[in-house]
Amino acid sequence: MYIFIVTNSPGELAGWVRPVARSLKRKKPEVKVIVVIAPCQYASGSEKKFAKDLPEVDYVMGRLEYLKFVLWGLKPPLLDLDAPLKGVVLFLGGDPVHSLLLSKRLGLPAFSYMHRPRYKKYFKKFMVVDEKMRKKFIEEGVSSDKVVVIGDLVADAVEDIMPKEKIYTSLQINPASLCISLFPGSRPQIVRYMSPFFLRVAEIVKEEFAEARFLLVLSPFISRKELTSLTEEELNKVFQVRQAKLKRKEGRWELITASGLEVLVVEENRYEAMSISTIAITIPGTNTHELSLLGVPMVVAVPLNKPEAIPFDGLAGLMGNLPVVGSSIKRWMVKRYNSKVKFTAIPNRWAGKSIVPEVRGKLEPEDVAEKAVKLLREPERLRQISRELKGLFPRAGSADRLAEAILNN
């Protein structure tokens, strides 16, 4: 039996594909798990390598292989795809149309895990997070027998972490320390700017909380060299910040800022780093979902200083990438989007209210640091935010339920 998992970018691969592939193999070891990387403007460029490194994945079909196959029927040489095939196509991120194109080409049914109904007639089953979402799908015209509640896949991704005392030991951090984690993103063009920006935020916070320790959590999709790849001249076209130095110290990598602040670069055990954080300072994305599940308060920064670097879906993304006029079009789209969207952090969007503070607009590090300092000075508010975040999303076990729905098809 073949399971073709169609996905697109860092958040979906780490938060959805990894736990699902693990559950599928645990329940039925002989199943062939094929990850298909669909074209996507949100991609980091490292998705294929990340998927190949997952022990439960048997084969990764890259973007070019996928396009050759769905458009012209050119089969990947290492895959036996001669009919009749038994299996399913599973949508786990990106544009659902890619899953449907692959489904048609293979002659297999298409399943999906999504948060709003799309292509309602063409997917055999819609796996959703909770009953509230199931009712929403049915209200929007999806047959009730096609909607299955399985829970929150990201909860499975973050559940398997080591005890906190081992985390402190492995990171060489005093358990009594105020620990602040920085999340500059999972796409190179964003990380290059946000890493120096967040390091400057850390310097300002350090002035108020001398005992604070800082961790910069590096996405597995990002090379360490991206943290310091821009010159200060390039940086200062967007943010007035200084570039840090990347140094290896006692077997670990650290970023040394202009003021001498040492920030540990965490390349593995990202969830462990999250779990010991007093607060996190982050951009929007899957990490805000992961932090929520661990009950970590956060400040979410959305700098719009360089709007032409922000990726968009579909036609908007294509227009924004046009030569000459693309940057102007994208700046206009970002301004319009910003005026319409109330929240960017996943927990705030999910709750429909502000649980964690967001800072949005043309920003300087001082704007973000001010929010972080204010939050750190209010321990009761921190505890309240943590309680709200922990109660926001369904808990673990979702990947097993999804695997059962697929395998029992």
Q: Give residue-wise pLDDT tens across range 267-277.
A: 988 999 999 99
SS (H, E, C) 9-49: CHHHHHHHHHHHHHHHHHHCCCCEEEEEECCCCCCCCCHHH
Is the separation of the CB atoms in 253 and 265 below 8 Å? yes
Q: Quote the pLDDT of residue 78.
A: 81
Dihedral over alpha carbons 391, 397, 399, 401 (to 10 degrees)? -120
Lowest mean pLDDT among 43-47, 52-56, 175-179, 196-200: 43-47
Q: Tell me if the pTM is above 0.85.
A: yes
pLDDT at position 241 is 95
d(CA 403, CA 33): 12
In this prediction, residues 238-265 reach a mean pLDDT of: 94
Q: How many residues are present in the chain? A: 409
Q: Per-residue confidence at 409, pLDDT binned at 50, 70, 90?
A: confident
Q: Which residues of 347-378 are buried (b: 16+ CB within 10 A; e: fewer)?
A: bbbbbeeebbbbbbeebbbeebbbbbbebbee
pLDDT at site 315:
46
Answer whether residue 308 shows pLDDT above 80: no
Reported as a single tens digit per residue, the pLDDT across 124-133 is 999 999 999 9
Q: Domain limits of the chain? A: 2-152+395-407, 164-303+363-390
Q: What average pLDDT score do residues 305-315 get?
A: 58
| Alpha carbon distance 122, 347 (integer Å) | 30
Residue pair 216/203 in contact (Cβ under 8 Å)? The answer is: no
Q: Which of 8-12, 200-204, 307-311 has the highest mean pLDDT?
A: 200-204
The answer to whether residue 314 scores a pLDDT higher than 70 is no
| Residue 5: predicted pLDDT | 98
**CATH architecture of residue range(s) 164-303+363-390:** 3-Layer(aba) Sandwich (3.40)
Residue with token string 């046009």? 322
Mean pLDDT of the chain: 91
> Which value, in Å, is the radius of gyration of the alpha carbons in the chain?
22
Over 80: is that where the pLDDT of 335 sits?
A: no
Q: Which CATH code is given to the segment(s) 2-152+395-407? A: 3.40.50.2000
Query: 109, exposed or middle or buried, with CB in 10 Å at 0-12, 13-18, 19+?
Result: middle
pLDDT tens figures, 34-43 = 999 998 877 7
CA atoms within 13 A on the CB side of 178: 16
